[in-house]
């Protein structure tokens, strides 16, 4: 009888259905157990000893999450969190390459100012990172990451008590769309989730800051339970989002089980998007079109907002940490250019005046020769202003591209020749942007990379030529 049951495909169908119900229930728990609050309670967070869980989902473009309008149900757990928290509808990351973008995210400053624009650049010790500010405020700090571009040798470990790549132990049945590498990235994001839960078990009784950097969306990696959308390149990407979303549920449920969710500020962001030949290339770190730089930002306070807040203005990844530090009532990052979006959140909820002085422009930057030592810089700068995006190559003497998403949401049609006034105005914005004073922390040093480190980076699919 048991043997027959085990051999029957129906048994597995029933089991899969049961697991699906369990998944739905766990998703529901996130919201149902959360105490409710009001938008004005955001102003009171600075008077409470809240923890921070900061999750970076590498390579996650916003428009592939259901809560951002995607037609596929890739992200039920993130959607549930967004519905009970704050979702920023339009977010611009500051580069399309991990290290440049992450340096901007942590320092609240554009790549031009961080100086971290090429493969050997590192954040100098003189810079002050959010983890240092939190550590000084008494937080236990931990960073768990699987992307070699944010390794300690590039200066990203400053302020963390624990900063580590999790030991690769998981090997779930998986499908991988990318060409197998001779130096594969070992393990999966479940390793990161388990390390994070272990941190909560051992240090969760202290006031803590936990940074988790997920990589399986970057690697198009997922298990059988998330193989929902097919096996083509883009399907694999969506499957990997679903798999990461399940990791998010595990992490959040671990907070619930320890009674920590109502004491914790949760933040989800990404460092850049991913292209699927919209502009002739796939992947990222090559250009600055919308698919490469538009990322999600979901903020979940230690209480449930009903309804959740949707912030319509274009905000930037440089605003993320100024906002978190503002909410916590902690000192600002010295030299930060980003601003707290707290006034935008309150305005969107009808709990504050309209934020009329919000910067109208958002920039992103990429040195297209970042991976080659001897190559001359090939800077690319993008500026967004309302529905317009201008992309300028070089120092401004070359022709620029202009897109208007009112008539062209995919940024497919370059209308620079038809709109010379817009081009001239936005070029001026870029000139003003590039003429800003240098960072107070000085120049970014270059670090030597040994073969081991280089192979760890090549495992991510980057061509790095020292
Ligand atoms: Zn990345």
Give me the pLDDT at residue 25, please.
Answer: 46
Tell the CATH superfamily of the 37-360 domain. Alkaline Phosphatase, subunit A (3.40.720.10)
Of 368, 365, 362, whose CA–CA distance to 388 is shortest?
Answer: 362
Q: From the CA of 218, how far away is ligand 1's center (Å)?
A: 7
Q: From the CA of 164, how far away is ligand 1's center (Å)?
A: 17
Per the model's pLDDT, the better-predicted residue between 22 and 402 turns out to be 402
Q: From the CA of 433, how far away is ligand 1's center (Å)?
A: 24
Q: From the CA of 101, how far away is ligand 1's center (Å)?
A: 8
Quote the CA–CA distance of 379 and 366 in Å, as a whole number: 6
Q: From the CA of 272, how far away is ligand 1's center (Å)?
A: 6
Per DSSP, the three-state class of 311 is strand
Report yes or no on whether pTM surpasses 0.85. yes
Q: From the CA of 118, how far away is ligand 1's center (Å)?
A: 14
Q: From the CA of 305, how far away is ligand 1's center (Å)?
A: 30
Q: From the CA of 123, how far away is ligand 1's center (Å)?
A: 17
Q: From the CA of 157, how far away is ligand 1's center (Å)?
A: 17
Mean pLDDT of the chain: 90
Write out the residues surrounding ion ligand 1, Cβ under 5 A.
Answer: 58, 98, 271
Q: From the CA of 59, how far away is ligand 1's center (Å)?
A: 5
Q: From the CA of 62, how far away is ligand 1's center (Å)?
A: 14
User: Encoding tokens for residue 436?
Assistant: 């800003």
Q: What is the mean pLDDT of residues 186-205?
A: 95
Which CATH class for the 362-458 domain? alpha beta
Give me the pLDDT at residue 27, please.
Answer: 54
Q: Where are the alpha helices (DSSP H) in 33-75?
A: none
Q: From the CA of 96, how far away is ligand 1's center (Å)?
A: 7
* Per-domain residue ranges of the chain: 37-360, 362-458
Give me the pLDDT at residue 465, please.
Answer: 66
Is the separation of the CB atoms in 150 and 98 below 8 Å? yes
User: Encoding tokens for residue 106?
Assistant: 């942590």
Q: What is the DSSP letter of 186?
A: P
Assign 3-state DSSP to the chain and report helix, strand, coil percentages, each to 5: 40, 20, 40
For residue range 279-299, what is the model confidence (pLDDT) as tens digits?
998 889 889 999 999 999 999
Q: From the CA of 108, how far away is ligand 1's center (Å)?
A: 17
Residue 398: pLDDT over 70? yes
Quote the CA–CA distance of 217 and 134 in Å, as a whole number: 28
Quote the CA–CA distance of 440 and 108 in Å, as a whole number: 13
Q: From the CA of 270, how far away is ligand 1's center (Å)?
A: 8
pLDDT band with cut points at 50, 70 and 90 for residue 2: very low
Report for 11-20, 366-375, 379-388: range of highest mean pLDDT: 379-388
Quote the CA–CA distance of 430 and 29 in Å, as a whole number: 47
Q: What are the residues whose beta carbons fall under 8 Å from the beta carbon of 15, sequence distance 6 or more?
A: none
Quote the CA–CA distance of 447 and 441 in Å, as a whole number: 17
Q: What are the residues whose beta carbons fall under 8 Å from the beta carbon of 81, sequence distance 6 or more?
A: 30, 248, 252, 266, 268, 298, 300
Q: From the CA of 441, how far away is ligand 1's center (Å)?
A: 24
Q: From the CA of 213, how far away is ligand 1's center (Å)?
A: 10
Give me the pLDDT at residue 183, please.
Answer: 66
Same-fold call for 37-360 versus 362-458: no
User: Encoding tokens for residue 3?
Assistant: 């043997």
Quote the CA–CA distance of 379 and 288 in Å, as a whole number: 11
Q: Where are the alpha helices (DSSP H) in 403-450?
A: 420-434
Per the model's pLDDT, the better-predicted residue between 23 and 275 turns out to be 275
Q: What is the DSSP letter of 161?
A: S
Determine what percent of the chain is predicted with pLDDT higher than 70: 90
Task: Specify the pairing of strand 361-367 against strand 264-269.
Answer: unpaired
For residue range 349-381, what is the model confidence (pLDDT) as tens digits?
999 999 999 999 999 999 999 888 788 999 999
Q: What are the residues whose beta carbons fall under 8 Å from the beta carbon of 401, sequence distance 6 or more?
A: 390, 391, 414, 416
Residue 432: pLDDT over 80? yes
For residue range 103-125, what is the model confidence (pLDDT) as tens digits?
999 999 999 999 999 989 999 99
Q: From the CA of 149, how far away is ligand 1's center (Å)?
A: 8
Q: What is the mean pLDDT of residues 256-264?
A: 95
Q: From the CA of 400, how far away is ligand 1's center (Å)?
A: 26
Q: What are the residues whose beta carbons fall under 8 Å from the beta carbon of 421, sequence distance 6 or more?
A: none
Q: From the CA of 97, how far away is ligand 1's center (Å)?
A: 6
Q: From the CA of 178, how far away is ligand 1's center (Å)?
A: 16
């Amino acid at each position: 009888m048991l043997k027959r049951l085990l051999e029957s495909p129906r048994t597995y169908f029933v089991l899969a259905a049961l697991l699906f119900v369990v998944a739905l229930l766990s998703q529901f728990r996130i919201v149902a157990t959360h105490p409710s609050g009001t938008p004005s309670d955001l102003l009171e967070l600075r008077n409470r000893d809240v923890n921070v869980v900061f999750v970076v989902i590498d390579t996650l473009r916003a428009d592939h999450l259901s809560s951002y309008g995607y037609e596929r149900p890739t992200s039920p757990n993130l959607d549930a969190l967004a519905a009970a928290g704050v979702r920023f509808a339009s977010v611009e990351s500051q580069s399309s390459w991990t290290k440049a973008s992450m340096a901007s995210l942590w320092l609240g400053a554009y790549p031009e100012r961080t100086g971290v624009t090429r493969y050997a650049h590192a954040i100098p010790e003189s810079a002050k990172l959010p983890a240092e500010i939190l550590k000084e405020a008494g937080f236990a700090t931990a960073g768990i990451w699987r992307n070699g571009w944010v390794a300690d040798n590039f200066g990203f470990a400053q302020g963390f008590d624990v900063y580590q790549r999790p030991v690769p132990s998981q090997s779930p049945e998986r499908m991988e769309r990318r060409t197998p590498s001779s130096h594969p990235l070992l393990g999966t994001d479940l390793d990161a989730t388990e390390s994070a839960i272990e941190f909560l078990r051992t240090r969760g009784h202290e006031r803590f800051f936990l940074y988790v950097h997920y990589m399986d969306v970057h690697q198009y990696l997922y298990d059988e339970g998330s193989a929902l959308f097919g096996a083509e390149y883009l399907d694999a990407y969506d499957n990997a989002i679903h798999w990461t979303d399940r990791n998010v549920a595990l992490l959040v449920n671990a907070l619930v089980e320890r009674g920590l969710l109502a004491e914790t500020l949760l933040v989800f962001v990404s460092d850049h998007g991913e292209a699927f030949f919209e502009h002739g290339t796939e992947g990222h770190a090559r250009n600055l079109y919308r698919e490469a730089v538009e990322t999600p930002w979901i903020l979940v306070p230690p209480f449930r907002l009903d309804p959740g807040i949707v912030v319509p203005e274009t905000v930037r990844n440089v605003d993320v940490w100024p906002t978190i530090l503002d909410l916590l009532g902690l000192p600002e990052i010295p030299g930060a250019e980003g601003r707290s979006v707290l006034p935008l959140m309150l305005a969107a909820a009808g709990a504050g005046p309209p934020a009329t002085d919000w910067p109208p422009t958002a920039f992103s930057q990429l040195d297209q020769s970042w991976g080659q030592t001897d190559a001359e810089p090939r800077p690319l700068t993008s500026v967004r202003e309302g529905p317009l995006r201008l992309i300028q190559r070089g120092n401004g003497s070359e022709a620029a591209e202009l897109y208007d998403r009112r008539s062209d949401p995919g940024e497919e049609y370059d209308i620079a020749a038809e709109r010379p006034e817009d081009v001239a105005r936005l070029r001026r914005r870029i000139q003003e942007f590039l003429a800003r004073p240098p960072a107070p922390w000085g120049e970014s040093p270059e670090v030597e990379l040994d073969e081991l480190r280089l192979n760890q980076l090549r495992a991510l699919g980057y061509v790095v030529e020292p």
